């Protein structure tokens, strides 16, 4: 019997791992854009296509062919029960059902069509139209399908609140801010388009629209509560609207328009994200901008650039489709790709990596944005997520770019050092009081905002999170920072205090506990925390415990609704990679769990070096392992399944070779 390899309990040698790494690196390099960046598709749910049809139907714009293909994309996402979910395999979500139903009607579908019958049954079973959130209701109001007097008020006067006032707009998350300001213009102007009777959705109201209670309901169990207080304010606001007591409305609309226009500059649309861009287009029309106005044309062009048109279909779904992305992630994907390729042994002076780094350096933020309202005395620095979004750099992207810059030996060393130092200073200035970091703002933590009626999209805040903080710890270690720095130690104590009882960590920006745990363990390892510390041992034991029988790992978006499901889900390439990276960072090199995970990645790699994460029976949809807003919006990053497995295999190989050499 041949001797067992010295490098671990595996039936697959390091030569196979090396081959897998080489093929994955070649595939990833082959996806690089000639300009130097990477940008994978960002897949999301059917809401985007429904809203796309709504907007064009309301404004009388759009390409009929694209809208027809968008209907095919909506139908592609429909569940067997007739509803539409937030992620593949998830339960029906009433807002998406209502929006899809309206979109189908706007495109001429009859309510008697079998698809419509099933959709209607699903919506009614989930409470009907009145259960939708404010973002859905204001679109319905614009089409005459809901009453402006019954939806939560979004008065533009909120933009006039001074910065010292507790409820000023800079105390809510940046994404909510960019969505709500144009929405407040819509609310004030109350656009209305009367639909023909056959396009009405009255049948989606439980008991019929005339009998439905459209107004916000008081909390009768707790009369004295913040919820009831804000509902009272909402009723007063509506009363003032009806009797035209709006003394500062003119100034509020002017301020909102100015705020929006300023943020159009150096940006691919307002906030460079889909909901804000759509709302801003409608808001421009409400303010009187015509179709041929340069601002309207530019806003519409940037919005349409998010579309992916497939008139001939695709290999995994041959039906012609048109789908929208919520945004584009070139900075994020480029930084991640550079790190994975750098770890895989691609030379530090490789021209393709140098070109990618130079592209990133060209995207450095050099003007102050919304973040400066709370951090005014810091020089701008850092990076955003998209191609152009100067007002909204984020800490997470900035940390990842800084990690990427360290992977390449740039001839412009002095310039790169200056850029990196500005970014480091900016990140430290953005550190929150509790030691952690949020994404776009500092100390964005006022929980009272969740009780405001128009906050029912559950994404009003941007608190510090352990996943971002873990990545920052890893980055800071690569720049020579240690636990002797008080800021670093505060961050470490923050993540340790956030550990769950079972040893895992919550993932805010990736699904879910596998993501959070992997980033925290990587950060703690980089900072030299001993792998035998109880917190580390408990975390790695949790990762091993939730491994699937096939050797991989997976976790569904449903864990945000039910934390008892954490670690449960079909195996995916990205989440298997995260689990392996977590175990390796936690000091586990030789367990069966690691061996099985590596075998799973090698076995599921295609000959061309890539991986798939297709959801079974879902018409070519990918599993979503990215998180936009927990319990609200999820994402399928198409390059996650490529650069994270490459990073995991490379990390494993390096660790095992080091152990073999030491032996």
CATH of the domain at 54: 1.50.10.20
Is residue 626 situated within a structural domain?
no
Residue 342 lies in a domain: no
Half-sphere exposure of 118 (CA within 13 A, CB side): 11
The Cα 650–Cα 643 span in angstroms is 10
More confident residue, 284 or 447: 284
Q: Are strands 42-43 and 633-637 parallel, antiparallel or unpaired?
A: antiparallel
pLDDT in tens, 343-389: 999 988 899 999 999 999 999 999 999 999 999 999 999 999 999 99
Q: Would you state the pLDDT for residue 208?
A: 87
Q: Does the active-site annotation cover 396?
A: yes
Average pLDDT over residues 499-523: 97
Does 3 have pLDDT greater than 50?
Answer: no
pTM: 0.95
Which member of 45, 333, 396, 397 is catalytic?
A: 396
| Residue at 422 is within a domain | no
Does the residue 12 lie in any domain?
A: no
663 pLDDT more than 70:
no
Q: Residue 154 has what DSSP assignment?
A: -
In a domain? residue 179: yes
pLDDT score of 248: 95
Question: pLDDT tens for residues 524-568?
Answer: 999 999 999 999 999 999 999 999 999 999 999 999 999 999 999
For residues 183 and 154, is the Cβ–Cβ distance under 8 A? yes
pLDDT of residue 275: 96
The average confidence (pLDDT) of the chain is: 94
What pLDDT is attached to residue 11? 52
Residue 345 lies in a domain: no
Answer whether residue 618 is part of any domain: no
Pick the more confident residue, 196 or 9.
196
How many domains is the chain built from? 1
Rounded distance between C-alpha atoms, residue 581 and residue 130, angstroms: 45
Question: How many C-beta atoms lie closer than 10 Å to residue 318's C-beta?
Answer: 11
Average pLDDT over residues 113-131: 96
Strand 633-637 and strand 321-324: pairing? Answer: unpaired
pLDDT at site 7: 40
Chain-centroid distance, C-alpha 308: 18
- Measure the CA–CA gap between 457 and 292, rounded to whole angstroms: 33
Can you spell out the DSSP letters for 321-364?
EEEE-S---HHHHHHHHHHHHHHTT--TT-HHHHHHHHHHHTT-
Q: Collapsing DSSP states into helix, strand and coil, what is residue 658? A: helix
Residue 11 lies in a domain: no
Instruction: For the beta carbon of residue 561, count every other beta carbon within 10 angstroms.
Output: 13
Q: Which domain holds residue 60?
A: 43-324
For 570-624, what is each residue's pLDDT tens digit?
A: 999 999 999 999 999 999 988 999 999 999 999 999 999 999 998 887 888 889 9
């Amino acid at each position: 019997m041949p001797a067992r390899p010295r490098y671990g309990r595996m039936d697959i040698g390091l030569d196979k791992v090396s081959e897998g790494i080489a093929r994955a690196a070649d595939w990833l390099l082959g996806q690089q854009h000639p300009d130097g960046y990477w940008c994978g598709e960002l897949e999301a749910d059917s809401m985007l296509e429904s809203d796309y049809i709504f907007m064009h139907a309301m404004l009388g714009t759009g390409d009929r062919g694209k809208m027809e293909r968008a209907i095919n994309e909506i139908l592609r996402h429909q569940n067997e029960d007739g509803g539409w979910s937030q992620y593949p395999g998830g339960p029906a979500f009433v807002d998406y059902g209502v929006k899809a139903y309206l979109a189908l009607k706007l495109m001429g579908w009859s309510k008697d069509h079998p698809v419509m019958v099933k959709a209607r049954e699903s919506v009614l079973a989930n409470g009907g139209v009145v259960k939708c959130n404010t973002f859905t209701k204001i679109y319905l109001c614009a089409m005459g399908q809901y009453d402006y007097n019954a939806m939560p008020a979004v008065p533009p006067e909120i933009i006039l609140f001074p910065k010292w006032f507790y409820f000023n707009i800079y105390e809510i998350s940046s994404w909510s801010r960019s969505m709500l300001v144009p929405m407040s213009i819509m609310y004030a102007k109350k656009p209305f388009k009367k639909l023909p009777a056959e396009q009405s959705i009255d049948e989606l109201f439980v008991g019929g629209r005339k009998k439905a209670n459209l107004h916000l309901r008081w909390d009768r169990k707790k009369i004295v509560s913040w919820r009831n207080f804000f509902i009272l304010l909402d009723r007063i606001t509506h009363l003032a609207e009806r009797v035209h007591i709006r003394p500062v409305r003119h100034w509020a609309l002017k301020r909102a328009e100015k705020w929006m226009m300023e943020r159009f500059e150096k940006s691919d649309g307002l906030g460079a994200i889909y909901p804000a861009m759509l709302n801003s287009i409608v808001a421009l029309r409400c303010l009187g901008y015509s179709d041929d106005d340069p601002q309207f044309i530019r806003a519409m062009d940037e919005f349409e650039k998010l579309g992916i048109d497939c008139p001939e279909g695709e290999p995994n779904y041959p039906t012609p489709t048109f789908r929208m992305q919520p945004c584009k992630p070139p900075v994020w994907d480029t930084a991640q790709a550079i790190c994975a390729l750098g770890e895989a042994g691609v030379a530090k002076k490789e021209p393709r990596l140098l070109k990618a780094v130079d592209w990133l350096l060209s995207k450095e933020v050099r003007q102050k944005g919304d973040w400066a309202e709370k951090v005014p005395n810091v020089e701008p620095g850092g990076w955003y997520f998209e191609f152009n979004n100067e007002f909204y750099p984020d800490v997470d992207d900035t940390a990842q770019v800084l990690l990427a810059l360290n992977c390449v030996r740039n001839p412009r060393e002095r310039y790169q050092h200056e850029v990196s130092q500005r970014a480091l200073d900016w990140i430290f200035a953005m550190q929150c009081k509790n030691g952690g970091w949020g994404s776009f703002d500092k100390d964005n933590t006022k929980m009272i905002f969740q009780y405001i009626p128009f906050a029912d999209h559950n994404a009003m805040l941007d608190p510090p999170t352990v996943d971002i903080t873990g990545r920052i710890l890893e980055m800071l270690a690569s720049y020579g920072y240690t636990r002797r720095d008080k800021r670093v130690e505060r961050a470490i104590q923050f993540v340790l205090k956030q550990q769950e009882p079972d040893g895992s960590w919550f993932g805010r920006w990736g699904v879910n506990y596998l993501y959070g745990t992997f980033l925290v363990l990587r950060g703690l390892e980089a900072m030299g925390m001993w792998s035998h510390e109880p917190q580390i041992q408990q975390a790695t034991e949790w990762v091993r415990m939730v491994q699937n029988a096939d050797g991989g790992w997976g976790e569904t978006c449903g864990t945000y609704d039910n934390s008892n499901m954490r670690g449960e889900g079909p195996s995916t390439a990205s989440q298997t990679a995260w689990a392996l990276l977590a175990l390796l960072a936690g000091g586990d090199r030789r367990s069966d769990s690691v061996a099985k995970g590596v075998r799973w990645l090698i076995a599921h790699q295609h000959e061309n070096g890539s991986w798939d994460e297709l959801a079974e029976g879902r018409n070519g949809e990918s599993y979503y392992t990215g998180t936009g807003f927990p319990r609200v919006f999820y994402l399928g990053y198409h390059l996650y399944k490529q650069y994270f497995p490459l990073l995991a295999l490379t990390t494993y190989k390096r660790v095992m070779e080091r152990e073999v050499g030491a032996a």
